[in-house]
Amino acid sequence: MANRARVLIDCDDAKGLVYHFSKIFYDRELNVDTNREFVDKERSKFFMRSVVTGEFDVDELRDAIVSVAPKNAHIRVVEPKPKKIVLMATKESHCLGDILIRWISGELEADIEAVISNRDNLRDLTRRFDIPFLYISSDDISREEHEEQVLDILKGLEFDYIVLAKYMRILSEDFVSNYPEKIINIHHSFLPAFVGANPYKQAHSRGVKIIGATAHFVTSDLDEGPIISQDVIPVNHRFEWKDMQRAGKDGEKIVLARALSLVLNDRVFVNGNKTIVF
């Protein structure tokens, strides 16, 4: 039975890269099912995502690609299989519930290891899907103490990504540094506009004609990490900020689901403070 893999290449740009990488596939009689590449001319960076099938050894294929790639290239040969995720939430159910429904219906190519929350509100919802709900109260303790408890829990779990499904606490730089490019957040605004709390009130006071949602990787800079996916919803002068908030919730869960699908299928490359999405 033929193997199948996603070949993910991130390296300095150079002449002949597509030829050299394609020749490796050709020499091994691999079929290239899909192939996309992009050159960031400003940074002189090359990105390529190929899906190949055939008879091959993953380690040997990766080593062969490394041998013709520029130095310090980031090469991955990934066999398609569900990735493991941990969800973090607070009180709002729309994003968490949407992810759980997509998971149980087979739309989400992931295994959900647990839901971690600083509030107990979503316990019953989570348990309906037979997923562990880990409640770590943030009451009466410092942010540092709370994050230490969360980190202790995370150290006992095996996962590829942390998904902040409306987790309404700002994570410290120390916390984020443990999981670079591994934490995905949904922000209820079309970034970079209206960062921080209450973006719908900010949007309403500015009389905007569109509202939006942004899914991004989390960095130490609040709401400024590399953007994965965005979308907008038209509004008008009749919308109060709560009307915007209700409309925005639909956008939030759709954008987060789209971003998760892209990340879980290895379609996202981080390029500085941007992303390349194939």
Domains in the chain, start-ordered, CATH in brackets? 3-78 (3.30.70.260), 83-277 (3.40.50.170)
Among 111, 120, 223, 250, which one carries the catalytic annotation?
223
Examine the pLDDT at 84 and tell me if it is beyond 90: yes
Name the pairing type of β-strands 161-164 and 183-187.
Answer: parallel
pLDDT digits (tens, 9 = 90+) for 12-48: 999 999 999 999 999 999 999 999 999 999 999 999 9
The pair of structure tokens assigned to 41 is: 């001319």
Q: Give the whole-angstrom CA distance, residue 4 versus residue 272.
A: 29
The pair of structure tokens assigned to 211 is: 């509202």
Q: What is the pTM of this model?
A: 0.90
pLDDT score of 94: 95
212 to 27, 90, 197, 246: CA distances (angstroms) = 47, 21, 15, 12
pLDDT score of 174: 95
DSSP code at position 237: T
Q: If you average pLDDT over residues 98-112, what whole number do you get? A: 96
Q: In the structure, what pLDDT confidence band is assigned to residue 239 with cuts at 50, 70 and 90?
A: confident
Catalytic residue list contains 221: no
Name the pairing type of β-strands 268-271 and 274-277.
Answer: antiparallel
263 to 152, 181, 242, 259: CA distances (angstroms) = 25, 11, 31, 6
Cβ atoms of residues 221 and 187 within 8 Å: no
